[in-house]
Amino acid sequence: MDNKTALEYFLQGCELKQMTSCVHAGILTEVKGTQNSPEWKKAAELFETACNEHHDKGCFELGALKYREGRSKKATEYFKIACEYGNKIACNNVKKFEK
């Protein structure tokens, strides 16, 4: 299956409230764009959808996107949320950023 087809399926899954699908759709969307591109904005929306539903990977990916945008304070906020939801990598990131 190619990325375009996979993205279509993940977007359908996201519409059906499957938060892992939202995260995967966000990742596939993000890699097509660059900082401040429409793709990154769409990816952020997809990650935020998952994060708002307490999906740790959604919060983590949103934090990572914000970090790549140079917004480390915002990134840390999302990493903290992901950490609260049990994402150990996010917890490590919070420790690094708060030093």
Which CATH architecture does the domain made up of 3-97 adopt?
A: Alpha Horseshoe (1.25)
Please state which of the ranges 19-23, 34-38, 72-76 shows the lowest mean pLDDT. Answer: 34-38
Structure tokens at 51: 């994060």
pLDDT at 36: 83
Spatial separation of the C-alpha atoms in residues 50 and 71, rounded to whole Å: 20
pLDDT at 97: 81
Q: Please count the CA atoms within 13 angstroms of the CA of 10 that sit on its side-chain side.
A: 22
**What's the whole-number average pLDDT of the chain?**
94
**CA pair distance 34, 98, nearest whole angstrom:** 27
The larger pLDDT score, comparing residue 4 to residue 50, is at: 50
Mean pLDDT of 55-62: 98
Decide if pLDDT at 98 tops 80: no
Domains of the chain, residue spans:
3-97
> Looking at residues 85-92, what average pLDDT do you find?
96
* Whole-Å CA distances, 48 to 2, 30, 87: 25, 13, 16
pTM, two decimals, is 0.92
Residue 15 C-alpha from the chain's centroid: 16
Q: For residue 91, give both structure tokens.
A: 């917890």
